[in-house]
Amino acid sequence: MSGLREQKKAATRTALSWAAVRLTVERGFSAVKVEDIAAAVGVSPRTYNNYFSSKAEAIAFRHLERSLRLATDVRDGPPDEPLWEAITRASLRSLEPGPEVEHMPPQQPDEWPAGRQAMWAEPALQAELLRANKIAEKELAAAIADRTGRDPESDLYSRLVAASVMAANNVALELSVEAGQTEPMESLLPRALRMVATGLPTP
């Protein structure tokens, strides 16, 4: 029963995060209330507050969850898979939408690029994203250390690779939401990772 309860809590947290993203993109950050997010998932505002302390934290959690899933997939991938292939595979898998997106699909898809751009520009959200990135980077470094037989606490290599992968993710995300950008995250991210993996040679 404990396992099922934890799964339900995790699903609720993920659904709340996606609802916060979806509503913020559609309406704007200041126009969305906690009550709106809770109602979209069918829970009370009090329940929402058991999971998140702010809208920004709820939005950033989706990014954190995706990044933590990347770390888990890198650690659990085939042991004979080359490291950068494992990272690229896990990165692309982390972009796949979850079931909560099917239950609450985006509205007015044509308006999403502008809405996403405005959302990511919110100062409160940027602060939460920095915090999420540091958490995810530490987990990814530990996963890389596991794969390469190194000490995650003292190894320079695993930390540098993790920091580089997170940087590639962040830059690809920023570019994907910029006005006029036509290349999607699913294409930008593997291209960014290839550049990092080859040592960023001068174009």
Q: In terms of Cα–Cα distance, which of 160, 137, 136 is closest to 148?
A: 160
Write down the pLDDT at residue 167. 95
Mean of pLDDT values over 148-159: 91
Q: Is residue 24 part of a domain?
A: no
Q: Which residues form the domain of 136?
A: 55-197
Q: Is residue 6 part of a domain?
A: no
Whether 96 shows a pLDDT value over 60: the answer reads yes
Please report which confidence band the pLDDT of residue 117 belongs to, taking 50, 70 and 90 as the band edges.
Answer: confident
* Domain-embedded: residue 184: yes
Any domain includes 46: no
Mean pLDDT, residues 1-20: 88
pLDDT in tens, 51-83: 999 999 999 999 999 999 999 999 999 999 999
Would you state the pLDDT for residue 179? Answer: 64
Does residue 49 lie within any of the structural domains? no
Name the helix (H) or strand (E) containing 77: none
Structural domains of the chain, count: 1
Query: For position 18, what pLDDT does the model report?
Result: 94
With bands split at pLDDT 50, 70 and 90, how would you rate the model's confidence at 188?
Answer: very high
Is there a domain that residue 29 lies in? no
Measured in whole angstroms, the distance separating CA 119 from the mean position of its chain's CA atoms is: 14
Distance in angstroms (rounded) separating the CA atoms of residues 119 and 80:
40
Domain CATH code at residue 191? 1.10.357.10
CA gap 144, 157 in Å, rounded: 9
Binned at pLDDT 50, 70 and 90, residue 174 comes out as confident
Band of pLDDT at residue 87, cut at 50, 70 and 90: very high
Residue 44 lies in a domain: no
Q: What is the largest CA-CA distance in the chain?
A: 56
List, in order, residues 6 or more apart from 66 with CB less than 8 Å away: 94, 95
> What is the per-residue pLDDT for 58?
95
Give the mean pLDDT of 106-128. Answer: 85
Q: 118 lies in a domain?
A: yes
pLDDT tens for 19-47 read 999 999 999 999 999 999 999 999 999 99
What are the residues whose beta carbons fall under 8 Å from the beta carbon of 137, sequence distance 6 or more? 162, 163, 166
Calculate the average pLDDT of the chain: 91
